Amino acid sequence: MTTDQLSATFSALADPTRRAILARLSQGEVTVGELAAPFDMTLAAVSKHLRVLERAGLVTRGRDAQFRPARLDATPLAAASEWIGDYARFWEDSIGALDHYLNALQQIRITAHDKENTHG
């Protein structure tokens, strides 16, 4: 594990199966079997995904008889959220730019409409 925490977090999130697993875990502890049911893959594969999430610190495991329930630990997401948050002004900017564009377009339409009317 030479990889930094942030890379591990983003890397763990970069797989739809793992994101679905986290979504499921957000509703509470789940066993591997329950977790694997909705997926078209073997238990071992899901177990591997869990290990990835575990190494990223997003999941902790317990023991309940022969079950090893997984539970969510969202703390690494705080750093990820903070990192992305630093860029919020850029996508807000572009939404702002889009706004401007749409307003300008609207203005053109209004102007065109006025012209038509004054021409009639």
Q: Which residues bind DNA (CB under 7 A)?
A: 11, 14-15, 17, 31-34, 40-45, 47-52, 61, 63, 65-69
CB closer to a second copy, 100 vs 115: 100
Q: Is 90 helix (H, G, I), strand (E, B) or coil?
A: helix
Site for a second copy in 40-99 (CB under 8 A): 72-75, 77-78, 80-81, 83-88, 90-91, 93-95
36 C-beta neighbours (distance < 10 Å), count: 21
Q: What minimum distance in Å lies between the beta carbon of 63 and a second copy? A: 21
**Residue 63 vs residues 17, 22, 34: alpha-carbon distances, Å:** 23, 19, 15
